[in-house]
Structure formats: structure tokens, C-alpha cells
Amino acid sequence: MANQKQDDYLLQSLIDGDDKGIKEIYKKVYPKVRKYILSHDGSEDDAKDIMQKSLLQLLARAQATDFKITSSFDGYFVTIAKNLWRRAAKMAKSRVTNEGVLDLVHEEREIALAAYEQEKWELFQEKLSEISQNCREVLTFFFNKVPYVDIAKKLGYATENTVRQRIFKCKSKLKEAIYSDKRYNELKEL
Amino acid sequence: MEQDIERYLNNEMTQEEVAAFLNKIDTDPEAKKLLSLYKEMNVVYDQNDWELLDKKTTNQKVQQYEQFLRSDKGKEIANSIKAAEQSYFNEKPFRLTKILKYVAVAAIFIAGLFLVVEYNQGTNTEQLYATYKNWDELPSLTLRDQNSDLTEIEQQFRTENYEESLLLLNTYVLNNDQNVNPQLLMYKGISQLELHKNTAAIDTFTELLESKTLDADKAHWYLALSYLKNQDVEKAKTELELLLEKPTNFKNKEAKELLSSLH
């Protein structure tokens, strides 16, 4: 089967709830999801849980008629799984900081929230890829907390101040790109 | 405004400046929106962070996703996912079983080379039984979306819960008194064998043999394995020899191989 054809088959199997096709998804992506989770402080059970949640999230989003996967199916799926694992880490952290406050939410709601967050994350990544390469580099360092002095060294800027100015300009461009996309406003709709 | 936001987010403002800034944010919706975006960017683009939405949000998209997942269709597909998961993980150990089978065959072969005298027949036949049984090649009891009792029997069988599969099977046969179902007899006999009810298993496979079905002759193979498990080598040999009569017979090749290890 050609790659695109197989990818379409996998997504359609999920939409149709076809056990056989969903099992094919497991065969294709579970080993990758497992490898990632196990190498990031997770257990086999965590991997199974993330796999199931990723499938449900994708299922919910794929109900929209305009839903499309622009990369390969397994690449896309593994990204969802990685983000869900990051999400789980963030939640564990906020549970520790909000000691004793247990915010129990139904599984369906939790998956719906994660699906929305993923959608927004994808939109932001797409917008980042639209600005100039230089801006993208500077901002990627900045957002990942690389100190100004190191960014200056890595990208050959004379002073920290130049870096600061550059970040300011690039952020403004990125902001424009996000603002002008109507999907951003749609996501914000209550 | 953007500069102020930057300074605010970087904690570079004095207390008075912060108060004035927050006041402005409260009264200027555009400024508020901008601050929110800058905060979002800081979290979303940080590879070690993740932006969590307020759980109580009334956002349309979130509600839409949730409604779908709670709908009958959503629940149905969630069940299909669980079924696929179960089937995927149930299959995995079988790969290991296959590897173990090769290891066992090799071990028996090597043992055969060195042992000239006849060694403990009991252990040997048990080993051979373990080597040649291969239950995962048993045909499925159901087609997709068919009878759920049969699915349950098969599921218990595939997960090696033989007590359960046998119990469910007996109940099923009692409630569905139809013609002999050769596949059910195979599942039954094997469950009995795995539970060490060897004599009962032999009876079940004899019933299969006497059934006038297409699968009746397969009983010779299962009887041979049952006798092996019962350490009755002579009877096992007789069953195997019957399989050698025609090369098209069920398990003809394996029967030949097994027979030569018994001589």
C-alpha cells in the first residue's frame, strides 16, 4: 500500500471504529510511543494510557469535516503522544503545587481539553514556521530559556542588547502572524 | 504597549509601574488580549512546558469534543479502541512463545545427540507436548460483530484463562443445543488439556473424531498431543501414524517430525 493510502486507511479506521484498522495503528505506532515514554520516566502502563488517550483525542478532532493530517500519520500521532506526556508532567507538577486540591474531571472532558490544547499548539507551531528563519532561531532559544549571552554567542550578535532588540522585533512579527489567523480567534471563542 | 508587556513579564517593573500597568490592562481590552497572547507564547513555545486550559472553560470546541466523546458513537468507538488494544497486547506474548518453541526444539535436538540411553520418558513427552502445542493458530470462533458469548470464550482462551473459557463454553453449549460445533470441541479439549484434565480432553477429542464434520480428522493430532501429555507414547504414535497416511493430512509434517523424536 502506498504511504498516503495507508495513512488514509489508518485515520479512516479510527473514524469508523474498525478494530482491525485500529490494531494496525497499534502495530505501527505503539512501539514508538512506548520507546518515548519509557525514555522519559514513564512506565509501560503510562505508555498504554497515553496511546489510548492519543487515539481518543485524534478521534474527537477527526470528526470535523475539514480535519487533515499534513505530515505522515505516525509522525503526527507520536507528536500528539509526546505532547500528552508533557501535559501529564505539567499536571503532576501543578498538583504538587496546589497541595491537597484535587481537581477531578471526567475522562471525556480531560481528553476534550487536551484536544483543544493540542490544536492551539499546532496553530502556534505553524505560525512560528511562517516567520523568517533567523527570527525562528532567536525565538526558539528565547522561549526555551537560553540566556541572552548564550544566544548572542550562538547566533553571532555583538551584545546582549542586540539580542534583546531582535527578540522584541521577532516576537512582534510572530504576534502579528498569530493575530491575523482567524483560527486563533475561533479558538478563543467562548 | 508591547514594551511594557515585555518588561512586566520579565519582572523588570517597579511596584508602582506594575500597579499602573495592571490598571491599564483592566480597562483596555486590546491590551488585555495582547498580554494574554504574550503569556500564551511563553508557555506554548517552551518545550518543557505545556499550556493547560482552565478546566471550567465554556469554550465551544472543548464542548463539541466532549459531547462527541460522550455520545453513543463516541463510546462505541472507544470500545473498539479497547478491543483493538487488547487484541494487540494479547498477540505479543505469542511471538515469544514461537521463539521459545524454536529454543525448545533446538534443546531437544541437542539432548538427543548426547543421550544414548533412554532417559526419563515422562519429562520427555511433557516437553514434546509443550513444544508442539500451538494454540494461537486455532481458528477464531467468531466473525467480527458476531455473537458476544463466543467472543468472550475466545478472549478468555486467548488470554489463557482456561477455567473461564471452559466454564463459558459449557454454559454456551447447554444454552445453544445445536449440532456439534467442531471448533468449540477443539477449544474445549484444549482448555481441558491445559487444566491437566487429560482424560476429559481425550473424551472431547474422541467426540470430535466421531463427529461427521470436516474437522473430524484434526482430532488425531489433538489426541496425539493428549496422549503425550498423559505419557502414553504408544497411543500417541498410533494417532500420529494415522496423520502420515496422506501428505495433505492436518499437521502431516509436524506428525512426521514428532514421530521420529519418539522412536
Q: B34-69: per-residue pLDDT in tens?
A: 999 999 999 999 998 999 998 888 999 999 999 999
- Which positions in chain B touch A60 (Cβ < 8 Å)? 65, 68-69, 74
Q: How far is B188 from chain A (nearest CA, A)?
A: 26
* B133 shares its domain with B232: yes
Is B87 in Cβ contact with A105 (below 8 Å)? no
State the average pLDDT over residues A4-15.
94
What is the predicted ipTM?
Answer: 0.90
Cell of A38: 519509557
In this structure, chain A runs to a length of: 190
* B258 shares its domain with B132: yes
* Nearest CB partner across the interface for A91, out of B48, B52, B74: B52
Q: A68-119: per-residue pLDDT in tens?
A: 998 999 999 999 999 999 999 998 887 766 654 555 678 999 999 999 999 9
* B146 shares its domain with B66: no
Q: How confident is the model at residue B117 (pLDDT cuts 50, 70, 90)?
A: very low
Residue B230, pLDDT score: 87
* Nearest CB partner across the interface for A113, out of B55, B78, B84: B55
* B164 shares its domain with B116: no
* B45 shares its domain with B161: no
Range of the domain at B101: 2-121
Q: Are A121 and B44 in contact (CB under 8 A)?
A: yes
* B113 shares its domain with B150: no
* B101 shares its domain with B200: no
Q: A117-127: per-residue pLDDT in tens?
A: 999 999 999 99
Q: B191-241: per-residue pLDDT in tens?
A: 999 988 888 999 999 999 988 888 888 999 999 999 998 888 899 999 999
* B48 shares its domain with B133: no
Please state the φ and ψ torsions of residue A171, each to the nearest 5 degrees: -60, -40
Domain boundaries, chain A: 1-92+104-130, 131-190
Q: Are B39 and B49 in contact (CB under 8 A)?
A: no
* B87 shares its domain with B178: no
CB-based contact, A122 to chain B, within 8 Å: no
* B162 shares its domain with B58: no
* B143 shares its domain with B244: yes
pTM: 0.62
* B155 shares its domain with B184: yes
Q: Are A110 and A84 in contact (CB under 8 A)?
A: no
Residue A9 has pLDDT above 70, yes or no: yes
Q: Per the structure, how many domains does chain B have?
A: 2
Q: A42-65: per-residue pLDDT in tens?
A: 999 999 999 999 999 999 999 998
